[in-house]
Structure 1
Amino acid sequence: MTVRAKKHLGQHFLKDEAIAAKIADSLSFEGYRNVLEIGPGMGVLTKYLLKKDIIVWVVEIDSESIEYLKTHYLHLSDRIINADFLKMDLATYFKGDPLAIIGNFPYNISSQIVFKAIEYRDYIPEFSGMFQKEVAQRITAGPGSKIYGILSVLTQAFFEVEYLFTVPPNVFNPPPRVDSGVIKLVRKKNHTLPVDVPFFFRVVKTAFNQRRKTLRNSLKSFQISDKLKEDVIFALRPEQLSVDQFIKLTKSIAEDGIRDH
């Protein structure tokens, strides 16, 4: 029995055992017991996770994959979650226990998976997995890069990021049309920001929505005072700012006393 890859679910099943083992080894497994694999398919990565001294959970939306896993991984069957990861309340499901995330992520929801991990950052000390290479590079890009953007800043505000290795298309069934990249996120020791987080998100997103403009123009909707606009930072474009500078910028706008209308 094999599982048929479904295009609408963005499925590309990894068939290279060495790469699966390498991804499983990318987590440290320190400070937590629960590991949640997203989209296990036929379990090529799952089997290497099950060799670790951890509690492995898998979340899968594809009923055919669930049947396969229940047949081939009997001791896992009570930890197979038939659900949409993006709709799960991780804090409630895992009773507030820390949880690492791992997987060969469906390309069509991979960015949303990262945003979900950011949302549940208080519970997720580590995160590693496979993305479309372009997305992996975007998450790990630094200031000054053309691909540095919203995803880069919001992820790096809370996690240390590392691009681990590139994976060619031929190790998947069916092969995607692009290379893939495996990355690792480790939550920062101090992952609380000295600013209102939703407001920080709004500042970052508003700045990058018009990334070719200087902040003086892209952040007009915040009705910043003329005095604050004199700050040299407002002459820069968003991709020139580090995460720390975005945090300071958010603080300055908040202290300016005016929110956007």
Structure 2
Amino acid sequence: MSSDHQHRARKRFGQNFLHDHHVIDNILAAVAAKPGDNVVEIGPGQGAITEGVLKATEGKLNVVELDRDLIPILESKFNHYPDFKIHQGDALQYDFGELVKGTPLKVVGNLPYNISTPLIFHLLSYHEHIKDMHFMLQKEVVNRLGAGPRDSNYGRLSIMVQYYCQVQPLFVVKPGSFHPVPKVDSAVVRMVPYQTLPFPAKNIKTLEKVVRQAFSMRRKTLRNTLKGTVTSEQLEALGIDPSARPETLTVEQYVKISDAVS
């Protein structure tokens, strides 16, 4: 394992390594890490973004990497930074609360497509301890994260993420910026958890259930998709048209429905 080039990107880990310096600089500028920041990078790969973050934080960084074969590469590159720590393991199972230690986290990652949605939901469970998140994702996922009502990309992911965070799609990244070259465009997104939730639900599990049920059949009306959970009369009492489609309602309206049935 002497050189980087001997590490083949692994399909099962969904690895695509970023090598475009212009894109790397744009990501680092968006993250805007500085000394004293508590940054955690998920899936550093061969360290394309890692180096710039370490310079910005004066050497303090935690990384979570699943692929054991990458650990020696990262160690040999960055071990001269005393506060560089590698946590080998699965980010989906990782307790990010361990890293907080009184300073909220800035989370950065070029996330493998196959785990991006469950990983975002896992991180949202720590939303009170997160300052911001910057992710490289499949462009279509970023479109869904940032979509508003009446947009065809708007759905369960949009609502549950926007319940917790302000979402700002930043820029698109073409496949040629990676090795191996993925088949789809990527995009970088910024997610900033609210310090005070704008529309807190009485019961988050009920909200999740209502939203999942509403979008189980996108083309049907709320009257049909939410049958058994909420009546047309209850919807009308909340000022919501029972014949509306699921993608026309705001986050606030879904919280109203959830609170009415919880």
- Rate the CA distance shift 1:155–1:31 in 2: closer, same or farther, 3 A: farther
Whether contact under 8 Å (2:33, 2:53) holds in the other structure is: no
- Secondary structure in structure 2 of the residue aligned to 1:103: strand
Listed as ranges, the matches of 1:58-207 within 5 Å are: 58-76=63-81, 79-95=85-101, 97-191=103-197, 193-207=200-214
Q: Which has the larger displacement, 134-143 or 31-40?
A: 31-40
Q: What is the CA distance between 1:4 and its match in structure 2?
A: 1.2
- Secondary structure in structure 1 of the residue aligned to 2:187: strand
- Rate the CA distance shift 1:118–1:200 in 2: closer, same or farther, 3 A: same
TM-score (normalised: structure 1): 0.90
**Identical aligned residues as a percent:** 37
Aligned to 2:50: 46
Aligned to 1:235: 243
Q: What is the CA distance between 1:225 and its match in structure 2?
A: 4.4
Q: What is the CA distance between 1:96 and its match in structure 2?
A: 5.8
| 1: CA distance, partners of 2:64 / 2:101 | 16
Q: Give unmatched runs, 5+ long, in structure 1.
A: 255-261
Aligned to 2:252: 244
Aligned to 2:27: 23
Whether contact under 8 Å (2:207, 2:255) holds in the other structure is: yes
- Secondary structure in structure 2 of the residue aligned to 1:145: coil
Q: What is the CA distance between 1:218 and its match in structure 2?
A: 0.7
- Secondary structure in structure 2 of the residue aligned to 1:136: helix
- Secondary structure in structure 1 of the residue aligned to 2:106: strand
Whether contact under 8 Å (1:32, 1:100) holds in the other structure is: no
Aligned to 1:12: 16
What is the root-mean-square deviation in Å for CA atoms of aligned residues? 2.0
Aligned to 1:257: none
| 1: CA distance, partners of 2:222 / 2:48 | 46
Whether contact under 8 Å (2:36, 2:57) holds in the other structure is: no
| 2: CA distance, partners of 1:185 / 1:164 | 10
- Secondary structure in structure 2 of the residue aligned to 1:117: helix
Whether contact under 8 Å (1:32, 1:98) holds in the other structure is: no
Query: C-alpha offsets along residues 131-189 of structure 1, whole Å, 9 cap, x if unaligned?
Result: 01111111111110111111100000111111100000011000000110100011123
| 1: CA distance, partners of 2:19 / 2:232 | 58
Letter in 2 for 1:247: V
Aligned to 2:37: 33
Query: C-alpha offsets along residues 17-75 of structure 1, whole Å, 9 cap, x if unaligned?
Result: 12112112212548972111111111010011011136311110111111100111113
| 2: CA distance, partners of 1:35 / 1:173 | 25
Whether contact under 8 Å (2:232, 2:242) holds in the other structure is: no
- Rate the CA distance shift 1:136–1:76 in 2: closer, same or farther, 3 A: farther
Letter in 2 for 1:73: F
- Rate the CA distance shift 1:226–1:235 in 2: closer, same or farther, 3 A: closer
Query: C-alpha offsets along residues 179-232 of structure 1, whole Å, 9 cap, x if unaligned?
Result: 10100011123127142111111111111112211111111132x346314444
- Rate the CA distance shift 1:226–1:110 in 2: closer, same or farther, 3 A: closer
Whether contact under 8 Å (1:136, 1:182) holds in the other structure is: yes
Whether contact under 8 Å (2:35, 2:56) holds in the other structure is: no
- Matched residue count: 253
- Secondary structure in structure 1 of the residue aligned to 2:127: coil
